[in-house]
Every structure is written in C-alpha cells, then in structure tokens.
Amino acid sequence: MVFWGKLKFTQNMPIKLPSRRLTSCLLILCLFLLALGSTVVSSAPVADPSVWSLVWQDEFNGANGSPIDATKWTAEVGGWGWGNNELESYTSRIDNAFQNNGALTIKAVKEHFTGSDNITREFTSARLISKNKFSATFGRFEARVKIPFGQGIWPAFWMLGNDIDSAGWPNCGEVDIMENIGREPNIIHGTIHGPGYSGANGISSSYTLPDNQPFANAFHTYTVEWEPNVVRFYCDGILYRTTTPANLPPGKTWVFDHPFFILMNVAVGGDWPGTPDTTTSFPQTMQVDYVRVYQRSTPSNTPLILRTDNANEPLALESVWLLKDPFTVSSSKNLSPDQRTRLVLLVANLDLIPGDDATLVSATARDGQGNQIPLTVESVRRVPSFDWITQVVVKLPDAVANVSQAQVSVTARGLTSNEVPIHLVAGP
C-alpha cells in the first residue's frame, strides 16, 4: 500500500512555469518519499498560495443603452467576410453593441445594410477588439458570457498577437478562448492557431457541460491561463485542455511569447458554422457580464501541486508554492538497502502517447558537491482526470543514503525540468 502525506492546499490556483532561461516545459510538481508499508511523517512547508492580480477589466456597468467604453474597445467594421466567408456586416452602431443591466450586449440583427465599405449584407453584428488599448504577454484571461444560439450563429471570445499587422496571420498567433457554432449547442471549443497549425488544422479541444445542457441557457465562465510554453483552457473552472509546444506538428514554431489583444464578436454564417436557416431566429444576442485579465503577483520557478485529504478519497491536484526550505521526510524505512524507497514526481506538460513507458524519462539527483546520481525510473503514467500531469516513480539507490540534501530533475524528449530540492533523512 502507498500512503500519501497530507499537505496544505489551495484550490483553483494554476501552476507557474519555469523562467525562460530554463530549457524545458516540464515541471516537477510534487515530491514524496514513499516506503512500502511506511508513511511519510512530515511534509514540505509551503508559502501562501500565489495569486492572480487583476490588471485590466471591463465590468460593463455603464448606463442602460450606453455605448461600449471607447477607452477599452474599438468596434471593427466591414462586411468583407473576415477570411471566413461570414455573412454579416460588422458595425460601430449602438444597435449592435451596447451596455445594459451590467452586461455588454452584442446583437446580431437580420437587416438589409450597406456599410462604409459599400458592401451590402443581410445581417449586422459587432466585433470588438482591445488592440492598441490593451494587450498583455501571459496571464489569465476570463469572461463570463451567455452565448446566442441557432444554426449559422458563431460567437467567440478570443485573442490575436498584436504583431498581426507586421507578421500577418497566422504567424502572429491566435488563441480562441471560447467558440461555439449554432449546430452544436452543447459544445464549446478552445483552440490555438499558428504557422503550420491554423484554420481547420488548429490545435483544439472541445468541452461539453456535465448535464449536456445548451450553453446558451445560462452564463458560463470561459478562461485561458497563458504562461511560458503552455496555454490551459477552462470552462466554469474545469480544466479541459492543456496545450504546449509538444503538441505542435513537427518542425512548427510556438508563437505565444509576445503581447496579445482581446476580441469578442458574434459572426453570422461562414465556412465553419454554415448559413442560417429557417430555424434560426433573429435578433441573437451575446451577453458578457465581464472581461478580466490577471497576471501572477508572485512569480516562482518552483511550483508544487498537490491536494490529498486522506487515503480513502481520490487524489485531486491544486496549486501551492514551495518555500526555500526543501521537502523533508523521515521514516524508519527510508533509504533502505533493498531500494524499496521510491520518489514520486508529478511532472506537468509531459504528454504521454500510446507506447510510452519508463524508458521515456530519466531522473537525476544532484548532491551538494555537484555529483550527479542517476535514479532508476520504475514507471510513468497519466494522472486520471489531469491530462497535463504525468506521475513518474523512481527508486532511490544506495548512493543517496548519505546525501542530506539533493536537487532532483527529470529529462524527457530532450527537455530537462527545473530542479526541486529534497532532504533525505534516514530513520534510526
């Protein structure tokens, strides 16, 4: 039997990746010394949880019927199809975007309209962008939204690289935090696009509500946490996709390391959603309760993730942060000469594919004199319900018996993680 030690935990606080000077997108998240038949009797002290600091927001609390806040948003206009063969003309009119009852309303209207570009369309809507007014590199981007519905309706909350005018699309990068197409009322999509993985080849996942209800029935919160070498997608606080450079097609470039701006729009028609039909009613509205952007207030290169209540409950993982003090354990069976003592490493962003086994990963302990001690990797496996976390179990060899403190790291697919300190205390 394996016993998990109890650690302090804090819910809903995501991980922080290593600084860019590190070559790896891997993280050792949690360290335990385990002895068969023995318990871990002490655990790592942890600092107060890292928090997200609010850096930008729009709560849409303007007077009923008031226009968008022009200091935060620009209404893009035009009916040229926007690269998707869309059928609407986007306008800057208050008819299509306005504040009401503490929310933004983007309204798609069926009407004969000729825009300033002299293109005539049979639908109007709005497309709002924060370009040149707000952009950020990394952070937590979140909106609480009630989406519209109907065949041919295409609401979206998304981001584009602010170098789009010089680099072009898709080289600038695109992050679709939430998209829905009307013929899939129960499904939302989270996607990244970049050079060589754009359009229909974007790297994407979908999410369905647990009760399979249409998303248009209620407000839901859509979030991405974007950090160096990782984008995590959430719906209502549930992580449903983690994307890293390891997910890119071979030889393609990760382009998510520069400022991005925010977009919100409701498209009508287009290659993906198709054309509205007789079942589609108008007007259709997307209501946005708020848009908020956070950044980490206390960056750290040594994240520790764990939640475990007791041996009879499922293991769940949240984020806490490691103090300078290393992880310390003491047990009468620690460092046993028969090498029954194991180290369990939870590694983020190491995606397993069919056929991967213990040979995929190597692990090393570095003592205070700089000596490298290889650790035998016994197994690797995906942590259930956390597709971005891999459990790596290693055996501790006799060579570490006299090491009071070591720095442990793992290497996989040519990438080496940050080092995490541990104390090795042999029992009496």
Q: Would you name the residues annotated as active-site residues?
A: 174, 179
Name the helix (H) or strand (E) containing 167. Answer: helix 164-167
Question: Quick one: CATH architecture of 27-51+300-426?
Answer: Sandwich (2.60)
Q: Whole-number mean pLDDT of the chain?
A: 78
Instruction: Give the mean pLDDT of 372-390.
Output: 77
pLDDT tens sequence across 119-146:
999 999 999 999 999 999 988 999 999 9
pLDDT tens sequence across 70-116:
999 999 999 999 999 999 999 999 999 999 999 999 999 999 999 99
More confident residue, 389 or 201: 201
Rg (CA), the chain: 25
* Reported pTM: 0.64
> Per-residue confidence at 401, pLDDT binned at 50, 70, 90?
low
Top-level class of domain 54-296:
mainly beta
pLDDT tens sequence across 264-315:
999 999 999 999 999 999 999 999 999 999 987 654 333 323 222 233 322 2
**The pair of three-digit structure tokens given for residue 202, joined into one six-digit string:** 């974007």
Q: Which contacts of 248-254 are long-range, i.e. CB under 8 A and separated by 24 or more positions?
A: 248/194, 248/196, 248/197, 248/203, 249/196, 249/197, 249/201, 251/196, 252/194, 252/195, 252/196, 252/197, 253/194, 253/195, 253/196, 254/194, 254/229
- Closest CA relative to residue 159, chosen from 70, 258, 285, 36: 258
pLDDT tens sequence across 226-252:
888 889 899 998 888 888 888 999 999
More confident residue, 201 or 325: 201
Domain ranges for the chain? 27-51+300-426, 54-296
